Structure 1
Amino acid sequence: MTFVSKFTKTLLSAAAAALVATSAWGATITIGSKNFTEQLIIAEMTKQLLQSKGYTVNKKEGMGTSIVRAALENGEVSLYWEYTGTSLITFNKVTERLSPEETYERVRALDAEKGLVWLAPSRANNTYAYVIKPDNPKTQGFETISDLAKAYTDGVAVLMGTTAEFPRRADGLIGLQKAYDFEAGRANLRPMDIGLAYNALANGDIDTLTAQATDGQIAAMGLKVLKDDKEFFPSYVLTPVVRKDVLDANPELKDILEAVSIKLDDATMARMNGQVEVDKKTIEAVAADYLKSLGM
């Protein structure tokens, strides 16, 4: 039994209780989010759910990773959904290799010292992933990130599409190059919006892309995910994080949010991401449809 499924058994009854009316009428909650599809979906879903429970909800979406975290710490936002690996490495500077269970417990303890409460985790692990088109001659036969690293070492100009912040992150390209002993080189990097990057990969303008494992376009475009054979990327389990003072004032938030988190998994997140990115449904509609499917 995984550490997430252990949460599930003990929380199902509490989650069901959270679906009835609460004492939240009149309370105001500000939800933050980062600037990519998955985060926008989960923030909208949280907004709709809390509004249905009587909360007045503000939403501050589309922020960078460091900005939304700072907003949570200084009280500008009440809650947002964060990834365990991001908190572990980026915010708490922990570099030792930890299991998913250890990662969650470590960030929960470290962030508690900062007045932040990690609720029950989902089963959606949006870790980084390198993807390629199977028919690209430059990357033909690549199976692992080690294969990609060897190409750079051999002087092959593999053009890498990436977000603006990935090359500067310790859990991104900086750490990856150390772990796999290669240097991509600035000339081979193509920083761009993730949505544009998938189009660039399809058109052959780039050769590989630093994606996220739950991106909807991966399956839709028939892309190949390179195996992280040195297991560099940590667990990035999507989890609601709430300021302690907000949770103390609104204790019912725990059950309400965990009613969603314990049911989310990789396949569900990838499907919703694909509905927005591939099927062009609105974020509001996708969030509403999922809540309805849960009876919320």
Structure 2
Amino acid sequence: MKKILMLATIFILSIGALAACSSGGDGEDKNITVGAKNFTEQFILAKMAILKLEDNGYSVEEKSNLGSSALRQALENKQVDLTWDYTGTGLVTYMGEDPIADKQEAYDTVKELDMERNDIYWTNLSEVNNAYTIVMTQEKADELAIESIGDLAEYVNNNPDELRFGTDAEFANRDDGLPGVEETYGFEFGDANISEMNYGLQYEALNNEEVDVAMGFATDSRIREYELVNLEDTESFFPSYNAAIAMTNETYENHPEVEEILKPIAEQLDSETMRELNYQVDVEERSVDDVAQTYLEENGLLDGE
């Protein structure tokens, strides 16, 4: 009889141990919902987080292809537990604050404000900065010896009405777009030298030599596709749009280990790497799953490494 009771006790303890292994720190199941917006970079970042979490014993549901506002609402309503978002979007769009160019200051500010106002916890700041940028073809930039926006300003001032600028309507009129760039750097494109077009077409226009300079986003795969160069923002004008993890505070409190699980991804990614990964999906037409998993495996971020 004692032997039976001992075996029963061991069995019960074993079941308890297994339950503990499959639960979060507070005893809840290790279930997490990861959200993503509706563009390639977001799909890749979300898939990396999902694969990394699954590799650490989590059961993950994905809610992707959401508009920025819809995803944010889902996060605030706890329909999504965590997502990758951008510090500039958090500050300007969600918090209604002025943009901040400094990466760390932008992150610290949105981290503090979003927790105070919405109980959203930001962590895992990365070097991926999907900010506005000014781009040229490498060939044209080399020909004119232009490496920075300051160099561009000097060239335009010395050669007015020579260079043509491609932009979408929003960037052409935003304070943190072309008007702000011109004011900050002390130059101005003539109205006749500005060509407005739908976003994306400016890359093709550059490649076809229909314009000489254009606006873009720093991690866009077409910068890689058309061998364009981002001009250095020497005055740090453009606001920071660095990618970081935003999660509900409830998720953080229930699963604090998630911060450490996803930390290696944030530490290794940068804008150049992200642009290359976007290129692999957009241009080489590899699947998001394949690109994300290959990157994690090649960088030792899966299988407990």
TM range (shorter): 0.7 to 0.9
Q: Distance in 2 between matches of 1:236 and 1:212?
A: 10
Q: Distance in 2 between matches of 1:272 and 1:234?
A: 23
Q: Which of 119, 124, 135 is matched with 1:120 structurally?
A: 124
Asked if structure 1 preserves the Cα contact closer than 8 Å seen for 2:43 and 2:64, the reply is no
Asked if structure 2 preserves the Cα contact closer than 8 Å seen for 1:90 and 1:169, the reply is no
Q: Which is richer in helix? A: 2
1:140-155 superposed matches below 5 A = 140-146=144-150, 151=156, 154-155=160-161
**Residue equivalent to 2:265:** 260
**Residue equivalent to 1:47:** 50
**Residue equivalent to 2:85:** 82
Asked if structure 1 preserves the Cα contact closer than 8 Å seen for 2:202 and 2:215, the reply is no
Change in Cα spacing, 1:177 to 1:93, as seen in structure 2 (3 Å) is farther
**How much has 1:85 moved relative to structure 2?**
2.9
Q: Distance in 2 between matches of 1:166 and 1:68?
A: 24
Partner deviation per Cα, 1:187-209 (whole Å, 9 max, x = no partner): 6221224xx54334322344433
Aligned residue for 1:242, secondary structure, equals strand
Q: Distance in 2 between matches of 1:176 and 1:166?
A: 10
Letter in 2 for 1:255: E
**Which range is displaced more, 173-182 or 107-116?**
173-182
**How much has 1:292 moved relative to structure 2?**
1.8
**How much has 1:160 moved relative to structure 2?**
1.3
Aligned residue for 2:246, secondary structure, equals strand
Aligned residue for 1:232, secondary structure, equals coil
Letter in 2 for 1:31: G
Change in Cα spacing, 1:97 to 1:126, as seen in structure 2 (3 Å) is closer
Q: Distance in 2 between matches of 1:92 and 1:75?
A: 18
**Residue equivalent to 1:23:** 23
Q: Distance in 2 between matches of 1:115 and 1:231?
A: 30
Asked if structure 1 preserves the Cα contact closer than 8 Å seen for 2:124 and 2:245, the reply is yes
**Residue equivalent to 1:276:** 281
Change in Cα spacing, 1:23 to 1:292, as seen in structure 2 (3 Å) is farther
Asked if structure 2 preserves the Cα contact closer than 8 Å seen for 1:43 and 1:59, the reply is no
Q: Which of 193, 196, 206 is matched with 1:189 structurally?
A: 196
**Residue equivalent to 1:100:** 103
Aligned residue for 1:56, secondary structure, equals strand
Asked if structure 1 preserves the Cα contact closer than 8 Å seen for 2:161 and 2:189, the reply is no
Q: Which of 222, 232, 235 is matched with 2:237 structurally?
A: 232
**Residue equivalent to 2:166:** 160
Q: Distance in 1 between matches of 2:177 and 2:164?
A: 17
Tell me how many residue pairs correspond in the alignment: 270
**Which range is displaced more, 152-161 or 244-253?**
152-161
- Structure 2: any 5+ residue segments left out of the alignment? 1-20
TM-score (norm 1): 0.74
Asked if structure 2 preserves the Cα contact closer than 8 Å seen for 1:157 and 1:188, the reply is no
Q: Distance in 2 between matches of 1:145 and 1:167?
A: 16
Q: Distance in 2 between matches of 1:84 and 1:170?
A: 18
**Residue equivalent to 1:58:** 62
Letter in 1 for 2:238: F
Change in Cα spacing, 1:59 to 1:146, as seen in structure 2 (3 Å) is same
1:124-139 superposed matches below 5 A = 124-135=128-139
- Structure 1: any 5+ residue segments left out of the alignment? 1-20
**How much has 1:159 moved relative to structure 2?**
3.9
**How much has 1:93 moved relative to structure 2?**
4.1
**Residue equivalent to 1:250:** 255
Letter in 2 for 1:48: L
Letter in 2 for 1:158: R
Change in Cα spacing, 1:224 to 1:86, as seen in structure 2 (3 Å) is same
Aligned residue for 1:48, secondary structure, equals helix
TM-score (norm 2): 0.72
Asked if structure 2 preserves the Cα contact closer than 8 Å seen for 1:90 and 1:171, the reply is no
1:109 aligns with 2:112: yes
